[in-house]
Amino acid sequence: MKNGNKQTVRIALAVVVIVGAISYLAVTGVEANKSYYVTIQELQSMGKQAYTRNLRVAGSVEPGSIVRDGAHAQFTLVELDRKLKVAYTGEEPPPDTFKDNSQALAIGTFGRDGVFHATQLQAKCASKYAPAQPGQAKPGTTQTAAVTAPAEAAGNRQ
């Protein structure tokens, strides 16, 4: 073989190795970060598969169940009549909207101890940020003011 051919073969081999390594890292990275959304009922009926997957579980935070310890927290999620104990050990403290009866999404793994070990925690905004429903008073106002306002407006038209 000539030196030019050897050089071309070496470059081609190096390119194949580099592309293969990048492809391997991309595929394993995607698999490691993939998480499945399941309900509490589905999680409790998954059997051994529940222990080997990254999962997302949502529910309402049971009132009085939150125990904070710095950036960590333990609490119970409730969905219909099902309960799930959660131990959150993320790098950041739970969000401010994480309170009793709030909707929360825990991301992590289910342990053989029956506890969901969350590394990420998200909480829905409180209902005070949602638009008022017809017939309901806005937060910070009294029901009487909301009821009398239309009557005053009708009196101004006369």
Q: What is the pLDDT of residues 91-149, one digit of tens each?
A: 888 888 888 888 999 999 998 898 999 999 988 865 555 555 565 555 444 444 444 44
Is residue 88 located within the same domain as residue 118?
yes
Structural domain count of the chain: 2
Query: Cα–chain-centroid distance for residue 86?
Result: 13
Is residue 98 located within the same domain as residue 57?
yes
Is residue 113 located within the same domain as residue 41?
yes
Domain that holds residue 16: 1-34
Is residue 39 located within the same domain as residue 20?
no
- The answer to whether position 141 is within a domain reads no
Is residue 9 located within the same domain as residue 87?
no
Percent of the chain exceeding pLDDT 90 equals: 23
Long-range contacts of residues 40-44, Cβ cutoff 8 Å, at least 24 apart: 40/77, 40/78, 40/79, 40/82, 40/83, 40/84, 41/79, 41/80, 41/82, 43/84, 43/110, 43/116, 44/82, 44/84
